A and B are shown apart, each in its own frame.
Chain A
Amino acid sequence: MTKPEAELETSYVKNGSITKRTIIAFVVFVALGAGAWIAYQSILSQPKIAGNTQTPLRKVLQFNEAISVAGFDSNKLAKEYPISAAVKKVRVNGIDGLRSPLDTAAWQLNVVKGTGDTLHLTMDDIRKLPKKDLVFDFKCIEGWNQVTHWAGVPLKTFMEHYGLTSLKQLKYMGLSTPDNKYYVGIDMPSVLHPQTILCYEMNGKPLPLNQGYPLRLIIPVKYGIKHLKRIGTMYFSNEKPPDFWAERGYDYFAGH
């Protein structure tokens, strides 16, 4: 047995002083509790102007994002699985930006390099680049996850091939669907992560329409909300590009 527990400190005091100390302690306790409640209510009562969120909460999210971007290690990879581990029935969780009819023949990827300087690429241009297969655990912000199999060109390779290297200096990439009804913004470290791909295949076949045919983003370091389907336009900016779900109260970073 180790040393016995020490006795608690004891003192002898007058009745009056005990009452006084007890009252003070309770007054402080109740005052602090009321203060905390008022602080909570004052946050709740603020208008949701910062991306459908109260400003103090949005500021904390931005603080978390700053830490996450600063500490981002692109050598850390999402776990990859053998192709046999991938599910056959891939969940479809949203069709925002996919409701407009798609003119398959006319589709092209618009890459905005600068003012009045836009690349127009076809799927053939993109398929010429080295293809990477990726089987990873896809994570939805709702909480579910699914091991799924995708293939496409790593975004970093794509950018280097099409002379977008200088744009890596900017802080964000923006993507939007051809109808501009779904759009995301992604921090550059996540864009350049080696597992981020411009994806055109799922389970070894061209993407189905509801999975973003002909081209979508697969970015394992982000929640599904950032994996934009049916990419229409790609652009780069130091300002945060508008983000569909961030405007609806979600964290802008939404990363892993």
Chain B
Amino acid sequence: MKKVVHKHPLAIRWFHWLNFPILAMMIWSGLLIYWAYGVYDISVANTVLVKFFPKSFYTALNVPYRLAEGMNWHFAFMWLFAINGLLYTLFLAFSGQWKHLLPNKQSFKEAWQVLLHDLHIRKYHPPQIKYNGAQRIAYTMVLVMGIGSLITGIAIYRPVQFGFLRWLCGGYAAARTEHFILTVGFVLFFLVHVLQVTKAGWNNFQSIITGFEVFKVSKKSVNNDKA
């Protein structure tokens, strides 16, 4: 006998794994588009700290002169990204799953405790049912970022017909910058997410595919997983 804890409903597993290739395609095709006017950098006092992106980066990934191709994939996959995100949001709202996801009053304190724990500063890890405070904040933030990408994206795509969104973003050029910053945010989220999932181990990882985590029956309490 084993104890099975049902962690991720089937719908959420679908949304998660559909979003992965869709978002990957949005980022890749976005890079092909960005190259054509790749002017962003992070500078302090006229010294460029990070350039988005160096020529070698583009060459290594075979990015140059693929603007049309990038736009075509981008404006095909935008539908999938938007629809999948919309269905995910509706599912969260109507299934009650948002209760596991949205940050609550303790989340910020918990997130701090999780951070100290993960940086090996403290041993204590707060107990959790599905997600800890850090996860609640991160997973909610990434949903908000998705909405942000949609809004800034529409503002760039149809700046006249959706003039209100363009205005909301602070103008056309600002919308493009915000769209880019959000994309960098997704990439950073992805890196931390993969690192944390790797750290949390197999039982946690496989649950986003099977839906459940498996525990030995002798264990009385639900384990505190940390993904």
Contacts and interface: CB of A to CB of B under 8 A. Distances in A.
Given A13-B1, A79-B163, A145-B173, A8 B130 contact: yes
B160 A78 contact: yes
A79 B5 CA distance: 56
A250 interface: yes
Contact of B209 (A26, A72, A220): A26
Contacts of A71: 161
B4 A10 contact: yes
B185 interface: no
A6 B33 CA distance: 45
A87 to B, nearest CB: 13
A220 B158 contact: no
Contacts of B211: 25
Contacts of A42: none
A72 B130 CA distance: 46
Contacts of A18: 2, 4, 214
Contacts of A22: 206, 210
B6 A221 contact: no
Nearest to A57: B72
B73 A72 contact: no
Interface string B112-150: 000000000000000001100000000000000000000
A60 B6 contact: no
B72 A29 contact: no
Interface stretch (A94-102, A103-111, A118-126, A134-142): A134-142
B6 A8 contact: yes
A128 interface: no
Interface string A35-74: 0100000000000000011001110110010001001110
A76 B161 contact: yes
A8 B5 contact: yes
Nearest to B79: A60
Contacts of B75: 60-61, 64, 251
Interface residues of B, number: 47
Contact of B68 (A8, A221, A249, A256): A249
Most-contacted residue by chain A among B36, B130, B160, B206 (CB, 10 A) = B160
B100 interface: yes
Nearest to A60: B76
Contacts of B173: 145
Contacts of A245: 68
A249 B72 contact: yes
B129 A7 contact: yes
B99 interface: yes
B36 A143 contact: yes
A139 B159 contact: yes
Contacts of B21: 36
B1 A14 contact: yes
Contacts of A58: 72
Nearest to B72: A57
A132 interface: no
B104 interface: yes
A57 B36 CA distance: 20
B69 interface: yes
Contact of B34 (A53, A143, A220): A143
B172 interface: yes
Nearest to B100: A5
Contacts of B2: 12-15, 18
Contacts of A84: none
A69 to B, nearest CB: 11
Contacts of A7: 129, 222
Contact of B4 (A6, A11, A76, A141): A11
Contacts of B212: 21
> Can you list the 4 inter-chain pairs with the closest CB atoms, starting with the nearest?
A143-B37, A249-B68, A142-B36, A60-B76
Interface of A: 1-3, 5-15, 18, 21-22, 25-26, 29, 32-33, 36, 52-53, 56-58, 60-61, 64, 68, 71-73, 76-79, 137, 139-145, 220-221, 245, 248-251, 255-256
10 contacts: A5-B99, A7-B222, A10-B6, A13-B2, A18-B214, A60-B76, A72-B161, A79-B166, A141-B67, A145-B173
